[in-house]
Amino acid sequence: MTTIPLPGSPVRGSRSGAPVMALLDLLGRRWAMGVLWTLCEGGPATFRVLQERCETISPAVLNSRLKELREAKLVERTAQGYAATKLGEQLYGHLEPLGAWAKIWGKSVKSSTTARKK
Amino acid sequence: MTTIPLPGSPVRGSRSGAPVMALLDLLGRRWAMGVLWTLCEGGPATFRVLQERCETISPAVLNSRLKELREAKLVERTAQGYAATKLGEQLYGHLEPLGAWAKIWGKSVKSSTTARKK
DNA sequence: CAAAATGCTATCTTTTTCATAGCAAACTCA
DNA sequence: TGAGTTTGCTATGAAAAAGATAGCATTTTG
């Protein structure tokens, strides 16, 4: 079993346990941000629906991420299924601008990477 | 070799290749945000110095992340060593508030998780 | 020029993630 | 009520990624 990164306890990448390091560890796991993003964008969803929305996530990973996000108080179970908590929405508020920024980034990258292989 | 997620090409987690999905894929790799964070916080650094700043990163992973970040135009090599590009700084600008937010988060989580096991 | 620093690559082990299958419990409704 | 469906996962085996460590070629320094 994996340890769930929580602020205060030492995490991968930092012996200090600085909150931001715990956060980066938590979010730096495959699908962590994607799941939160999807939940916030599309609203509460059951496990199965969430899985479909994420298109390619496997149930095992979805389950792991949900456990972690719930323990981190970013996601909770409601009558409607899984949903972002207030804290989760707050975090999403910080992440959401990345959507717009990514488009700008996309242009910069593409203009310098036209016709690349592999 | 791993494919580097770039906007426009389909990435893990999304067949669409939406820029934000490419970004989340790129950043959702271990140490990706940490490296950018460290570079922006501490300024340009040589490979070795960067490695030390990151405390526990292995050279292989650091090397991979640097390649990806460079291809994504977020990091570049300068006379001073590796450094965030303008684009990278911009992105960091969006990430940076997470530092403060993580502290708030830390309190909420801790208050509900006092004395947990495992 | 010898010693130290730099920038990685190689290698092996441990973790994560992926891809699927499938099962138990809750829900539907004929 | 009880067969069929949906939901929420768990199990499993294989592939990919990350971690730990050693070490080597090149550059820099004294």
Confidence of residue B118 (pLDDT cuts 50, 70, 90): very low
Q: Which of A91, A105, A108 to mutate to test the interface with B (most CBs of B within 10 A)?
A: A105
CATH number, domain containing residue B78? 1.10.10.10
At A89, the amino acid letter reads E
Say yes or no: Cβ of A82 under 7 A from any atom of strand C: no
**Lowest-confidence segment of A56-65, B5-14, B24-33, B63-72 by average pLDDT:** B5-14
Beta strands in chain B (DSSP E): 75-78, 81-84
Q: Is residue A37 part of a domain?
A: yes
Q: Is the pLDDT of residue B94 over 60?
A: yes
What's the structural domain count of chain A? 1
Cα separations (Å) of A100 from A91, A107, B19? Answer: 16, 12, 9
Rounded to the nearest angstrom, the gap between the alpha carbon of residue B13 and the centroid of all alpha carbons in its chain is 18
Q: Is the pLDDT of residue A118 over 60?
A: no
Q: Is residue B58 part of a domain?
A: yes
Around Cβ B100, how many Cβ atoms within 10 Å? Answer: 12
CB of A14 closer than 8 Å to CB of A21: yes
Angle of the B97-111 helix axis to the A19-27 helix axis, nearest 10: 90
Average predicted confidence (pLDDT) for chain A:
89
At B30, the amino acid letter reads R
DSSP, res B78: E
Average predicted confidence (pLDDT) for chain B:
88
Q: What pLDDT digit, counting tens, does each position of A18-64 carry?
A: 889 899 999 999 999 999 999 999 999 999 999 999 998 999 999 99
Q: Is residue B117 part of a domain?
A: no
Tokens representing B105 are 């988060």
Sign of CA dihedral B15, B21, B25, B26: positive
Q: Is residue A52 part of a domain?
A: yes
Residue reference for tokens 């964070």: B37
Q: Is residue A11 part of a domain?
A: no
Domain residues for A87? 30-99
Q: Is residue B61 part of a domain?
A: yes
pLDDT value at position A116? 37
Q: Is residue B107 part of a domain?
A: no
For residue A80, give how far its alpha carbon lies from the nearest alpha carbon of chain B (Å). 23
Asked if the C-beta of B34 comes within 8 angstroms of chain A's C-beta atoms, the answer is yes
Query: What percent of chain A has pLDDT above 70?
Result: 86
Tokens representing A53 are 């929305």
Taking CB atoms within 8 Å and a gap of at least 24, the contacts of A96-102 are A96/A40, A97/B94, A98/B20, A98/B23, A98/B24, A98/B91, A98/B94, A99/B19, A99/B20, A101/B23, A101/B90, A101/B91, A101/B94, A102/B7, A102/B18, A102/B19, A102/B20, A102/B22, A102/B23
The predicted model gives B29-40 an average pLDDT of: 96
Q: Cβ separation of A19 and B73 shorter than 8 Å?
A: no
Q: Is residue B18 part of a domain?
A: no
The predicted model gives A76-88 an average pLDDT of: 96
